[in-house]
Amino acid sequence: MGRRKENISDHGHPPKQKHQPDFDVVSTIRSSEFPILQKTPRPKSLEPAHEFTVELSPNTYTDEKYRLYLKYQVLSHKESRHENTPDQFTRFLCSSPIDAKSWTDETTLQTRQTGSFHHLYRLDGELVAFAVLDLLPHTVSSVYFVYDPEKVGRFGMGKVSAVREVAMCIEGGYKYYGLGRNPCLLIFCRGDMV
C-alpha cells in the first residue's frame, strides 16, 4: 500500500488555514454615523469631512420631507410637480392605520417599537433621504425610499437603506425584513440575511 497523499500546496507546504473574522452587520453599518465617529480613536488631524446621522421619526408631514419627495419624484421618476401635491404626499407616505406603540413579546418579554415611521438620513444637518417603515411586532417592512438624486444618488442609497434596515431588525429583535406593504410584501427571515 502506498503512502497517504497529504494536502500540500504548490510550494511544498501544507496550505494555511484562512481565518475569516466574524462580520458584524450592525457595527459596520453604524460606523459611518457621526456620533460613532466622534467616539472612534483617531489622530487629531483626521476629522470626519461630513456629519452623517440617521434617526427614526414619526411619519408626519413636514415641508422638508415634502420638498425632498417632490425632487425625488420629478428627477428619478420623471413625474410632474403638479401631480405630487402636499396632500398626495401626506396620503401616500404620511398616513397609516398602524399607530406607534410599544409591543412586548410574551415569550421573550422583549419590547419592540411598532407603528409607521420615517427613517431620516441627514448629511451635515440636511435631509438627503428617508425611508418609510412599518414596524410590526416581528417585521421591519420597508415601504418606500426617497433620496436626493443629485446629492447622494451615486452612493446606491437604496442598498444603504436596505442594509441599515437589516441592522435595525437585528438591533430591535425583529425576526423578519419585508419589502413593501401587503399584499405585495416580500419577507425575508433575519437569519437568511446575516
pLDDT in tens, 145-174: 999 999 999 999 999 999 999 999 999 989
More confident residue, 192 or 61: 61
pLDDT in tens, 45-86: 888 888 899 999 999 999 999 999 999 999 999 999 888 999
Say if residue 114's pLDDT is above 60: yes
97: cell is 392605520
pLDDT of residue 44: 78
User: What is the rounded distance in angstroms from the CA atom of residue 34 to the CA atom of residue 36?
Assistant: 5
pLDDT of residue 93: 95
User: What is the rounded distance in angstroms from the CA atom of residue 190 to the CA atom of residue 194?
Assistant: 7
Contact 118, 132 (CB under 8 A): yes
Q: Give the global pTM.
A: 0.79
Say if residue 183's pLDDT is above 50: no
Cα dist. 60→8, 29, 64, 93, 127 in Å?
Answer: 64, 26, 11, 9, 15
Which domains are delineated in the chain? 50-193 (3.40.630)
Say if residue 34's pLDDT is above 80: no
129: cell is 433621504
| Confidence tier at 28 by pLDDT (50, 70, 90) | confident
| Confidence tier at 194 by pLDDT (50, 70, 90) | very low
